[in-house]
Chains A and B, each alone.
Chain A
Amino acid sequence: MKIVVLVKYVPDIEIGYEFTGQNTLDRSGAGLLSQLDEHPLEEARQLAEALDDVEVIALTLGPDDADEAVRRALQMGADAAFHVSDPAVAGSDAGATALVLAKAITHIGDVDLILTGAESADSGTRLVPVKLAALLGIPALTGASSLAVQPGGGAVTIERDEDAATLTLSAPLPALVSVTDKANEPAYPSAKAVMLARRKPVDELDLADLGVDASLVGAGAARVAVGSVTPNPPRAGGRKIPADGPDAIGQFIGLLREAGLV
């Protein structure tokens, strides 16, 4: 069984991010593998451990720096990786991204299962997985909090936790599943896994290799335009009552009273 895990190299947005003049995210700083993508990687690793003959391939579309994400994916259990990188891709919208990824999946060939994170940590549209499945003509099961592949590999079953109920969904393979952070606790790679990752093959591809017309991708081909980006003002600092100051508790309760909370 061949599993492709989509991974994305993102800016470390948890510690803050900035925008460029072209209304895109400033990606010049240090980035990392999107934390949300660790969950599908871990899911694939567990499937490979539980089932026979599973090959896990990490696939990323991103700049040269995205090597970092590829390396991490290989440390986390992927057997091989494909890294699609082309200057023409910069500024692509979700549709173009899905198009390139679909071509890459076709290039890899005989893929049974595509795993993705619930969303990308930076743009967070959640569009790419479904668009990709549509382009490939395969079913998409989104938001999996758990995942099981039938023995023999004929179908995949997921559970999706919704507010009102938990759904059990299944689809025949090949299929695409997006995995949430509830699905697992990603394992920290051992030193041996890190060492072995250095030897795993990484295929570098560009648009020409995939036969994608460059005019269909990039900022120019985006069908959705970002009109403007206005960063939210930083949150006003809350009031700080030093714990070792005079009557800290009294002040705190006073504030709660003022706010009508007690």
Chain B
Amino acid sequence: MWYALPVIGLLATVVGWSLLAWRVTSYVRGFRAGAAELPGSRTARPGARTATMLREFLAHTRLRRKPLVAVAHWLTMLSFLVLVLTLAQATGQLFSPSFELPVIGHFAPYAWLTEFFAWAGLLGILVLIAVRLVASRASLGRGSRFFGSHQWRARYVEATILLVCVAVLWLRGLEAALSERGAESASAELLFPSTAWIGSLYGGVTDAALDGWIGCLALFKILVSYAWMVVVSLTPTMGVAWHRFLAFPNLWFAKRPDGAPALGGLEPLVVGGQAVDLNDPATPDDVYEHLGVGYAAELTWRDLLSLTTCTECGRCQEVCPAWATGKALSPKLLVGALRDHAWAEWPVGSMGDAATPLVGGDAPWAVSPEALWACTTCGACTAICPVGVEHVDHVIDLRRRQVLGEAEFPAELGGAFRNLERRQNPWGLPGKKRLDWTAGLDFDVPVLGETVASLAEVDYLYWVGCAGAFDDRGQATARAFAELLHRAGVSFAVLGTAECCTGDPARRAGNESLFGDLAAGNVEVLNQAGATKIVVTCAHCFNSLAGEYGPFGGHYEVVHHTELLADLVEAGRLTPGDLPDEPLDAHGRSVKPSVTYQDPCYLGRHNGKYAAPRRVLGAIGNLELTEMASAGPNSVCCGAGGGRMWLEETEGTRLNQRRADQAAATGAGTIATACPFCAVMLGDAVAADSGSGTQVKDVAQLLLASIAGEGTP
């Protein structure tokens, strides 16, 4: 009857590896069937890509917010690699219980490594199982990062790893017992340092029974492993299992070769691997049928790879401000829906007329328009994804199709688009009012073409932005900043009525056509003016001017006003003083002005600028900076990005209120920020809570107040 062991084992081996090979082939075919990427966009700088891949593999940098999970995952991950040879070992043991791998079978370091990682893997997976159980307990509901994940798939993978680790250790114990009875008993201590004690439990069994134990356990181990292979091969959407292979290429083909998150400037609209110019009459007609991503067949090969790699770990869901405030959007569920959709219509593009639209269709995997338009493109999901899923780009691709192809989008956005078309600003105010913000300053703001003939005469072009021109808070910031430049003796000029919206709100809302018009117009004005150094007070303007105007011929040195101010303070050209103290506390003691700082998403996560605003705030003598629980790279969106500034927020609670509450939890009397959109959103939130007394100020306003000593302007 022992002949049954190798027969069953070999049968499982053949089935397991055949199915795996079939699935890998089908994956490669499936990915290759995806639409083309912009040439070189996913392969440039192979050295940096390899370094990024190895760094994320070995250093797990994106798991840093959960250190216990990071360590447990790291051990489990490596144990999979180290223990893969134990599958061969077990296969040999089906034939002969005393089988040993050639060459390394008796090599002590290999034995130690195996034992270490078997225990480490066991410990790691127990921790991960416990973490999942705790983090997915029913009482958390939507608050669980695993809400909506395929939990049984994950539990199956966890159980497999657990059983394999147990089987490896147990088998080694039996091997130790076996070697005790042979000629080489002296080496048992050396080769089985941590498993010999298991073998000692089998002192009383007969030789034949010990052989039987080894054969059966080896078969068990093999069946567990190959059952896993069969299950995952038949389930292409099981990223929780497949990420152990797919994460490597997915990280290698990342948008940013150096491993920075796929944020900042967006890629141009690409169809068939070519950037599309919607204003060029020579653009072929069929391109217009495939703008953005509307069907699974229009997902690029990297999209398909990336979607398939998703492990459903839910880190993105956990940090998504839309999800946290009860919106329909979860980045994880959006990615999962796209993935399931793509594989349901496998091979991608073969479904022809039977294919269903990715957004708003009847398919069970369709993304709801509510979810799609709830995204603020804050990038928290993309920045935290350990396997390099690029959620924001997926959202933008889908929006591009909805706007450019289907003309389907929330009605309020139509108003913003029309305002941008007609009056070149999303507020829809007349361009001739663009200099109204300068009223009240006791010096003349230099305007290019009026008081300044050429930008060569000045240090900086100050790009005021539409908020600086038209919004009350933005105007106050613009005045404070201009005043600071004036005091520091920095020469500057503004474009005045020649300035237009950079196009950021249009682009984030998917309106690439409108963005292109505005960007091209601005580049023409800027280049004609000979702009080289531009300073901006808006994080969104910064992102567009610095990161999105290259393809339009606009290459400038763009600095954010907080960077310039920090440099001016450190160079001694601005000398901050104290801010007025806050009202006395209950004991009649003076209270230093306490400030917390809101990192704008498009300054922080999208462009990696966290230090400059803090350098400015830190230079203000008596200011006490108290960071929010989630600050810096973990900062939480105010709710205005991604065109959401112009949309109603009707579902769930309000993002700006949530962030204002988090700011209030620091006890700070002032929320400082460095973006007019944050200022509007948080300003509205604190105004709605009239008892709070909290004020929202731009960093420039606080700096000026400390210098002027006149109280907060």
In angstroms, Cα B687 to Cα A248, docked, is: 11
In the complex, A195 has a CB within 8 A of chain B: yes
B430 adjacent to A190 (CB under 8 Å): no
In the complex, B212 has a CB within 8 A of chain A: no
B417 adjacent to A16 (CB under 8 Å): no
In the complex, A198 has a CB within 8 A of chain B: yes
Segment 407-442 of B: residues with Cβ below 8 Å from A: 407, 409, 411, 414, 417-418, 422-423, 428-430
Q: Residue among A15, A191, A243, A249 with the most chain B CB within 10 A?
A: A191
A12 adjacent to B406 (CB under 8 Å): no
In angstroms, Cα B513 to Cα A194, docked, is: 10
**B interface, how many residues as a size bin?**
20 to 34
Report which of A14, A191, A244 forms a contact with B404, defined as CB distance below 8 A: A191
In the complex, A187 has a CB within 8 A of chain B: yes
In the complex, A185 has a CB within 8 A of chain B: yes
Report which of A15, A16, A249 forms a contact with B690, defined as CB distance below 8 A: A249
Question: Known: A12-B422, A32-B422. Contact between A243 and B405, CB under 8 A?
Answer: no
In the complex, B666 has a CB within 8 A of chain A: no
Q: Measured between C-beta atoms, what is the minimum distance from B687 to chain A in Å?
A: 5
Q: Measured between C-beta atoms, what is the minimum distance from B519 to chain A in Å?
A: 15
In the complex, A192 has a CB within 8 A of chain B: yes
Q: Measured between C-beta atoms, what is the minimum distance from B697 to chain A in Å?
A: 10
Segment 182-218 of A: residues with Cβ below 8 Å from B: 185, 187-195, 198
Question: Known: A12-B422, A15-B430, A32-B422. Contact between A191 and B278, CB under 8 A?
Answer: yes
Report which of B281, B288, B418 forms a contact with A191, defined as CB distance below 8 A: B288
In angstroms, Cα B288 to Cα A240, docked, is: 50
In the complex, B695 has a CB within 8 A of chain A: yes
B281 adjacent to A190 (CB under 8 Å): no
A190 adjacent to B407 (CB under 8 Å): yes
In this complex, what residue of B is CB-closest to A187?
B407
B429 adjacent to A15 (CB under 8 Å): yes
Report which of A189, A198, A248 forms a contact with B407, defined as CB distance below 8 A: A189
Tell me which residues across on chain B come within 8 A of A195, comparing CB atoms: 278, 281, 283, 285, 288
Q: Measured between C-beta atoms, what is the minimum distance from A260 to chain B in Å?
A: 25
In angstroms, Cα B288 to Cα A193, docked, is: 9
In the complex, B579 has a CB within 8 A of chain A: no
In angstroms, Cα B428 to Cα A32, docked, is: 14
In angstroms, Cα B281 to Cα A198, docked, is: 8
In angstroms, Cα B287 to Cα A191, docked, is: 11
Tell me which residues across on chain A come within 8 A of B270, comparing CB atoms: none
In the complex, B322 has a CB within 8 A of chain A: no
In angstroms, Cα B559 to Cα A161, docked, is: 56
Tell me which residues across on chain B come within 8 A of A12, comparing CB atoms: 422-423, 430
In this complex, what residue of B is CB-closest to A191?
B404
Report which of B404, B409, B411, B430 forms a contact with A16, defined as CB distance below 8 A: B430
In the complex, B478 has a CB within 8 A of chain A: no
A185 adjacent to B690 (CB under 8 Å): no
Segment 138-175 of A: residues with Cβ below 8 Å from B: none
A191 adjacent to B291 (CB under 8 Å): yes
Per-residue CB contact flags for chain B residues 281-313 toward chain A (1 = under 8 Å, else 0) read: 101010011010000000000000000000000
Tell me which residues across on chain B come within 8 A of A185, comparing CB atoms: 411
Q: Measured between C-beta atoms, what is the minimum distance from A247 to chain B in Å?
A: 11
Q: Measured between C-beta atoms, what is the minimum distance from B414 to chain A in Å?
A: 5
Segment 3-27 of A: residues with Cβ below 8 Å from B: 12, 14-16
In angstroms, Cα B405 to Cα A192, docked, is: 7
Tell me which residues across on chain B come within 8 A of A243, comparing CB atoms: 687
Tell me which residues across on chain A come within 8 A of B409, comparing CB atoms: 188
Tell me which residues across on chain A come within 8 A of B513, comparing CB atoms: 191, 194
A188 adjacent to B422 (CB under 8 Å): no
A188 adjacent to B417 (CB under 8 Å): yes
In this complex, what residue of B is CB-closest to A244?
B695
Tell me which residues across on chain B come within 8 A of A189, comparing CB atoms: 407
Tell me which residues across on chain B come within 8 A of A249, comparing CB atoms: 690
Report which of A15, A188, A190, A193 forms a contact with B423, defined as CB distance below 8 A: A15
In angstroms, Cα B407 to Cα A185, docked, is: 13
In this complex, what residue of B is CB-closest to A35?
B418
A191 adjacent to B405 (CB under 8 Å): yes
Tell me which residues across on chain A come within 8 A of B407, comparing CB atoms: 187-190, 193
Segment 241-299 of B: residues with Cβ below 8 Å from A: 278, 281, 283, 285, 288-289, 291
B404 adjacent to A190 (CB under 8 Å): yes
Q: Residue among A14, A187, A195 with the most chain B CB within 10 A?
A: A195
In this complex, what residue of B is CB-closest to A186?
B414
Tell me which residues across on chain B come within 8 A of A15, comparing CB atoms: 423, 428-430
In angstroms, Cα B278 to Cα A191, docked, is: 7
Q: Measured between C-beta atoms, what is the minimum distance from B416 to chain A in Å?
A: 10
Per-residue CB contact flags for chain B residues 90-129 toward chain A (1 = under 8 Å, else 0) read: 0000000000000000000000000000000000000000
Per-residue CB contact flags for chain B residues 486-513 toward chain A (1 = under 8 Å, else 0) read: 0000000000000000000000000011
In angstroms, Cα B422 to Cα A248, docked, is: 36
Tell me which residues across on chain B come within 8 A of A187, comparing CB atoms: 407
In angstroms, Cα B131 to Cα A15, docked, is: 59
Segment 666-697 of B: residues with Cβ below 8 Å from A: 687, 690, 695
Q: Measured between C-beta atoms, what is the minimum distance from B234 to chain A in Å?
A: 40
Q: Measured between C-beta atoms, what is the minimum distance from A146 to chain B in Å?
A: 19
Q: Measured between C-beta atoms, what is the minimum distance from A194 to chain B in Å?
A: 7
Question: Known: A188-B407, A244-B695. Contact between A194 and B278, CB under 8 A?
Answer: yes
Q: Measured between C-beta atoms, what is the minimum distance from A30 to chain B in Å?
A: 8
Q: Measured between C-beta atoms, what is the minimum distance from A193 to chain B in Å?
A: 7
Tell me which residues across on chain B come within 8 A of A198, comparing CB atoms: 281
Q: Measured between C-beta atoms, what is the minimum distance from B688 to chain A in Å?
A: 10
In angstroms, Cα B420 to Cα A32, docked, is: 13
Q: Measured between C-beta atoms, what is the minimum distance from A73 to chain B in Å?
A: 15
In this complex, what residue of B is CB-closest to A14?
B428
B414 adjacent to A188 (CB under 8 Å): yes
In angstroms, Cα B476 to Cα A244, docked, is: 14
In this complex, what residue of B is CB-closest to A193?
B407
Tell me which residues across on chain B come within 8 A of A16, comparing CB atoms: 430
In this complex, what residue of B is CB-closest to A30?
B422
Tell me which residues across on chain B come within 8 A of A188, comparing CB atoms: 403, 407, 409, 414, 417-418
In angstroms, Cα B278 to Cα A192, docked, is: 9
Q: Measured between C-beta atoms, what is the minimum distance from B664 to chain A in Å?
A: 15
Tell me which residues across on chain B come within 8 A of A190, comparing CB atoms: 403-407
In angstroms, Cα B404 to Cα A16, docked, is: 31
Per-residue CB contact flags for chain B residues 390-406 toward chain A (1 = under 8 Å, else 0) read: 00000000000001111
In angstroms, Cα B685 to Cα A243, docked, is: 12
In angstroms, Cα B404 to Cα A194, docked, is: 9
Show 9 residue pairs from A and B whose CB-CB distance is below 8 angstroms, ordered by the A residue: A12-B430, A15-B428, A15-B430, A188-B409, A188-B417, A191-B291, A195-B278, A244-B695, A249-B690
Of all A-B residue pairs in the complex, the 6 with the closest CB atoms, nearest first, are A15-B430, A191-B404, A192-B288, A190-B407, A188-B414, A243-B687
Given A192-B405, A195-B278, 10 additional A-B pairs, CB 8 A:
A185-B411, A187-B407, A190-B404, A190-B405, A191-B278, A191-B403, A191-B512, A192-B289, A243-B687, A249-B690
